[in-house]
Amino acid sequence: MSEDKVKEMAKLLLSGAVMLAEQCPVCGAPLFRLKDNTIKCPACGYTKAEKVEKKEREETKQKITVGTEKEILTKKLDLLLQNLERSQDVNEIKTILETIKVIHELLKET
Ligand SMILES: [Zn+2]
């Protein structure tokens, strides 16, 4: 951590801010709660207004993650099928087929 960031943290503490056990979701530095209840990261400037809002954001984030995961899996599946078509190597074919099976299982779960 750079000296500037340590200074910024000290400044926050002196202004009555409280260091929280929670970490910044952006950079992992400890978060501070300011006098006006704003939660702020002194290292990267990340701020968070209220806990309720954060929960909503996390739920949204989770939905996005699931969608993306499915997208990624589908893309990989396409790629694997292309490789399977091209492949002449028995071991490679076996590996590809096993991987496809795993992806199918994962896609069923999402
Ligand atoms: Zn941060």
CA–centroid distance, 29 to ligand 1, in Å, is: 5
Is residue 93 within 8 Å of residue 87, measured between CB atoms? yes
Report whether pLDDT(54) > 60. Answer: no
* Confidence category of residue 50, pLDDT binned at 50, 70, 90: low
DSSP string, 24-44: -TTT-PEEEE-TTS-EE-TTT
* CA of residue 89 to ligand 1 center, whole Å: 48
Range 66-99 burial, b when 16+ CB lie within 10 A, else e:
eeeeeeebeeebeebeeeeeebeeeeeeeebeee
- Rounded distance from Cα 63 to ligand 1 centre (Å): 23
State the pLDDT confidence band at 28, using cuts at 50, 70 and 90: very high
Partners of residue 18 on adjacent β-strands = 33
Ligand 1 centroid, distance to 40 Cα (angstroms): 8
Question: pTM for the complete prediction?
Answer: 0.41
Tell me the pLDDT band of 110, cut-offs 50, 70 and 90: low
How many angstroms is it from 44 CA to the middle of ligand 1? 4
Residue-wise pLDDT for 58-75, tens only, equals 666 655 555 688 888 899
Predicted confidence band of residue 13 (pLDDT cuts 50, 70, 90): confident
Q: What's the 107 CA to ligand 1 centre distance in angstroms?
A: 34
Question: For position 49, what pLDDT does the model report?
Answer: 67
Tell me how far the alpha carbon of residue 50 lies from the centroid of ligand 1, in angstroms.
16
Domain ranges of the chain: 3-49, 56-109
pLDDT of res. 63: 59
